């Protein structure tokens, strides 16, 4: 079994994605467990309206794995003419596997900034872009596409709700060798520290933090984490965890 950086990796992300990722990492010899501080709740009205919205779109842009998990079952099998795009490779791989279609995504980077550099999204006059996201998503993607001439619409197919993490598990791990934590959004980072409170703050800061994006790492630093690591995708995460200490 490969050597791991720390004995257990806690996956701070919605339950469905955390469970799937934990299985993949376990197969790679990495001890990983879901550690959810917030989850996603489907917006049934938005999902019901999605097929009609998608039918008139030239582009469908999915901003997260949660969006794909919830939205694609409503679209599978429909005669969609829209091109598909995702902000990151992992989401694009998931959507390509489900749809059997090509999915535009940035070859480097995993955010809206990287997606917006791609040539097919530079001139969008007369085209309709439907952005599939959760409620309260960052406005940059839609605002930039609108400036490039697109008619931008949104399908906000889920909302985020706080859930109580398994702090008994955390306490057991922290009493031995502190775990590592994979943080997949700035909002989750803030919720994590909010739940931990003053009583667990020292134990939390003794852990190793891994962020998927520099923006998340910056949030962690604001919360008191001194040296968060970066792993842009799951390949980089595995390399980080199984490499030399």
- Please say whether the dihedral angle defined by the alpha carbons of residues 158, 216, 226 and 7, taken in this order, is positive or negative: positive
The model's pLDDT over 83-140, given as tens digits with 9 standing for 90+, comes to 999 998 889 999 999 999 999 999 987 889 999 999 999 999 999 999 999 987 789 9
CB 112 within 8 A of CB 142: no
Q: What is the pTM of this model?
A: 0.83
Residue 127 has phi, psi (to 5 degrees) of -105, 150
Strand partners, 83: 59
Q: How confident is the model at residue 191 (pLDDT cuts 50, 70, 90)?
A: very high
Taking only the tens place, the pLDDT of each residue in 36-95 is: 999 999 999 999 999 999 999 999 999 988 899 999 999 999 999 999 999 988 899 999
What DSSP line would sit under 121-166, residue for residue?
Answer: GS--TT-EEEEEEETT--SHHHHHHHHTT-EEEEEEEEEEEE----
């Amino acid at each position: 079994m490969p050597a791991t950086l720390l004995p257990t990796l806690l996956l701070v992300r919605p339950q469905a994605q955390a469970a799937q990722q934990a299985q993949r990492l376990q197969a790679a010899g990495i001890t990983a467990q879901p550690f959810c501080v917030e989850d996603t709740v489907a917006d049934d009205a938005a999902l019901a309206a999605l097929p009609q919205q998608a039918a008139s779109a030239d582009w469908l842009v999915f901003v997260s794995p949660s969006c794909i998990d919830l939205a694609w079952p409503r679209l599978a099998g429909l005669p969609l003419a829209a091109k598909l795009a995702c902000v990151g490779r992992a989401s694009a791989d998931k959507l390509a596997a489900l749809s059997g279609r090509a999915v535009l995504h940035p070859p480097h980077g995993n955010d809206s900034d990287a997606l917006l550099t791609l040539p097919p999204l530079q001139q969008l006059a007369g085209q309709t872009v439907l952005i599939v996201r959760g409620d309260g998503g960052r406005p940059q993607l839609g605002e930039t596409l609108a400036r490039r001439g697109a008619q931008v619409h949104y399908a906000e197919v889920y909302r985020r709700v706080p859930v109580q993490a398994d702090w008994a598990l955390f306490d057991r791990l922290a009493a031995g060798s502190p775990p590592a934590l994979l943080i997949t959004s700035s909002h989750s980072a803030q919720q994590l520290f909010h739940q931990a409170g003053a009583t667990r703050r020292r134990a939390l800061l003794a852990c190793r933090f891994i962020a998927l994006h520099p923006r998340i790492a910056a949030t962690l630093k604001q919360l008191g984490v001194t040296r968060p690591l970066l792993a842009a995708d799951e390949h980089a995460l595995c390399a980080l965890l199984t490499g030399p200490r």
